[in-house]
A and B are shown apart, each in its own frame.
Chain A
Amino acid sequence: MGVIEVNHVTKDYGRGRGVFDLSFSVDEGEVLGFLGPNGAGKTTTIRQLMGFIRPDGGSLQICGKDCFKERDVIQRSLGYLPGEIAFIDSMKGMEFVRFVARMKEMKDLGRAGELMERFELHPDGKISRMSKGMKQKIGIVCAFMNDPSILILDEPTSGLDPLMQNRFVELILEERKRGKTILMSSHMFEEIEKTCRRAVIIKAGRLVSVEDVEKLRDSKGKKIEVRFANEGQAGAFVKEYALSEHGKAWRQDAVVGLQIQGSMDAFLKTVSRYHVVDLQTQSQSLEELFMHFYGESEGGKGGEDGSGENDGGVVRGKGVHVG
């Protein structure tokens, strides 16, 4: 049995929002990625794990304890980073950290000092004057400072700059080595890719699948734009590349755009015979990744839950947070 168990959970907010018959589990010592576009139901699931809301159906357990009824017991070994950062604005940063430490019944500030150093956080001023990144760092410090054995992190790197995002990934990898059980939600595959071996993917509140991150990474496509020395070169490349059956390419003047799934080898070997002025790669968005993943590996599976006709609606018009 997993440390975190979600069994056939349904929480219906109407108009298709919420989560529906969702089941997954996080094993002890595992870092599980929780992937889905905005509004897919990640936060709704986490709120239920935290005991903030009660499921309409199904059950959620952490360490075998019911998430709504025994939430206070669960909290003894849990660290939580909310997706929406909201502190007590009238407090100063350090004051808030101390307050949370005392609320958590800690004797001292635990790992707070070390974590603040790691994230270069100097929380002296008032929280209401702080940038989003600084607030996010305070949230991270509060979640990790009592060194809990289980961590639930809702979009932990939002608001952090790339340098700090990397520091955060390092932190998660260290915690993984120390045997922590972590559930981490994200709408960015890159973040999950670096830290997790498995990822739960949800869309429109329903489980799409639980996949090995390795497998997802292999199916991830890259968009590439190549600028050639002249239009002639570009045209010739498109012709040759199309012949090699690797995929489609489009051309505008001397610029060629194409999309590659899996290995870059064939593309690089072909393009190296031409005069390349510039080359840009762009990672796929999560939505595109899902579409490719299910389009190519198991075409039938995606159609099962009717996601085919839902796709457009899911990707668009979901900026609002559920609940």
Chain B
Amino acid sequence: MSGVLFWKEMKSNLFLFVIFVGVLLMYAATIIYMFDPQMADSLRQMTESMPELFAAFGMATVGENLLEFVSNYLYGMIFLAFPAVYLVILAKRLIAGYVDNGSMAYLLATPKKRVQIALTQVSVMLVTCVLVVAVVASVMAILAEGMFPGELDMEGFLRVNVGWLGVLVFFGGICFLFSCIFNQSRYAVGCSSAAVVYAILLQMLSQVGDSLEKLRYLTPLTLFDIEGLTSGTKEAWMGCVTFYVVGLACMAAGVIYFDKKNLPL
């Protein structure tokens, strides 16, 4: 680990972080603001008029309470796709970007092991994921409490966010691994985006209707069981743990690969 490098990365990625978290918060605030126990009926009618479209975005049911409402409208799609884009960019910057433009030579021409450099970048990735979830969830909790005191089931909300963090760690791990494997940023970005788009797209399709329902077995995001997490079922926790394990394993694999590989510097 290198503290110098860690803070350099945190500083240079701050701008991007603020933008992405800002977008997420904007959505979150809008959705919470829209919640109205009385309006649930009219929303239900709207959903019933175009069930496929709403289902594709993970909004099959309107939700009887605030937790179901926000988890359906936000965690099903928007909170996965936006951070995924950010993680693809971040992962590329952390390893492949330095290798591609040659400045990795300066990071390695220091008394640091490659493993130390790579682990520093992993920690930047993990801390970023935690910060995204922590900032967004805290602000949402405060907003919800401010607008609808006592309406949000805090424990359930916390469980959903633990699950959400798992998905981000999973996405981050995949992107980081590709960033370690490829020497050219465009390949790292290409493969990372392909993986992320594949997972999200298949999840959307599988939710549209019965004919495509089988697709849910082909996307890892099926393991992100929001409903299960709100009530805290065992299956949902298993899925959640899987995301963490696979994500961290990908990061470890990336670090090991980076340590062993030939670098074109």
Q: Which residues of A contact B (CB under 8 A)?
A: 47, 50-54, 71-73, 75-76, 78, 80, 82, 84-90, 99-100, 102-105, 142, 323
Tell which of B107, B108, B110, B113 touches A105, judged by Cβ atoms closer than 8 Å.
Answer: B110
Tell which of B8, B98, B116, B265 touches A82, judged by Cβ atoms closer than 8 Å.
Answer: B265
Contacts A87-B103, A90-B12 given; does A72 touch B265 at CB 8 Å:
no
For A80, the chain B residues whose CB sits under 8 A away are 105, 109
B265 engages A52 (CB within 8 Å): yes
Contacts A104-B111, A105-B111 given; does A47 touch B103 at CB 8 Å:
no
Tell which of A75, A86, A100 touches B101, judged by Cβ atoms closer than 8 Å.
Answer: A86
B4 engages A99 (CB within 8 Å): yes
Q: Report if B264 contacts A (CB, 8 A).
A: yes
For B110, the chain A residues whose CB sits under 8 A away are 75, 100, 103-105
B12 engages A50 (CB within 8 Å): no
For A71, the chain B residues whose CB sits under 8 A away are 108, 113-114
Nearest-neighbor residue (CB-CB) of A142 within chain B: B106
Tell which of A75, A99, A100, A323 touches B111, judged by Cβ atoms closer than 8 Å.
Answer: A75
Q: Report if B214 contacts A (CB, 8 A).
A: no
For A52, the chain B residues whose CB sits under 8 A away are 105, 108, 262-265
A73 engages B111 (CB within 8 Å): yes
A75 engages B106 (CB within 8 Å): no
Q: Report if B112 contacts A (CB, 8 A).
A: yes
A78 engages B109 (CB within 8 Å): yes
Q: Total interface residues on B, using CB and 8 Å?
A: 24
For A47, the chain B residues whose CB sits under 8 A away are 263, 265
Interface centre among A73, A82, A85 (most CB of B within 10 A): A82
Q: What string of 1s and 0s marks CB contacts (under 8 Å) between B241-265 and chain A?
A: 0000000000000000000001111
Nearest-neighbor residue (CB-CB) of A99 within chain B: B8
For B12, the chain A residues whose CB sits under 8 A away are 90
Q: When A and B form their complex, which 5 residue pairs have the shortest distance between CB atoms, in order from nearest? A: A86-B102, A53-B262, A102-B4, A80-B109, A103-B110
Nearest-neighbor residue (CB-CB) of A88 within chain B: B103
Contacts A50-B105, A52-B105, A90-B12 given; does A76 touch B111 at CB 8 Å:
yes
B111 engages A72 (CB within 8 Å): yes
For B264, the chain A residues whose CB sits under 8 A away are 52-53, 323
B106 engages A103 (CB within 8 Å): yes
For B107, the chain A residues whose CB sits under 8 A away are 103
Q: Report if B2 contacts A (CB, 8 A).
A: yes
Q: How far is the CB of A51 from chain B (nearest CB, A)?
A: 8
Contacts A72-B111, A76-B111, A105-B110 given; does A53 touch B103 at CB 8 Å:
no
Q: How far is the CB of A49 from chain B (nearest CB, A)?
A: 11
For B116, the chain A residues whose CB sits under 8 A away are 72
B4 engages A89 (CB within 8 Å): no
Nearest-neighbor residue (CB-CB) of A95 within chain B: B8
A50 engages B111 (CB within 8 Å): no
Q: Report if B5 contacts A (CB, 8 A).
A: yes
Q: How far is the CB of A16 from chain B (nearest CB, A)?
A: 18
For A82, the chain B residues whose CB sits under 8 A away are 102, 105-106, 109, 265
For A87, the chain B residues whose CB sits under 8 A away are 103, 106
Nearest-neighbor residue (CB-CB) of A139 within chain B: B106
Alpha-carbon gap, A80 to B108, bound state (A): 10
A103 engages B262 (CB within 8 Å): no
For A86, the chain B residues whose CB sits under 8 A away are 101-103, 105
Q: What string of 1s and 0s marks CB contacts (under 8 Å) between B91-123 and chain A?
A: 000000010011101111111111010000000
Alpha-carbon gap, A71 to B110, bound state (A): 9
Q: How far is the CB of B91 from chain A (nearest CB, A)?
A: 17
Contact sample, A vs B, 18 pairs, CB 8 Å cutoff: A47-B265, A52-B262, A52-B264, A75-B108, A75-B111, A75-B112, A76-B111, A82-B265, A86-B103, A88-B106, A89-B101, A90-B12, A99-B8, A102-B4, A103-B4, A103-B106, A103-B112, A142-B106
Nearest-neighbor residue (CB-CB) of B263 within chain A: A52
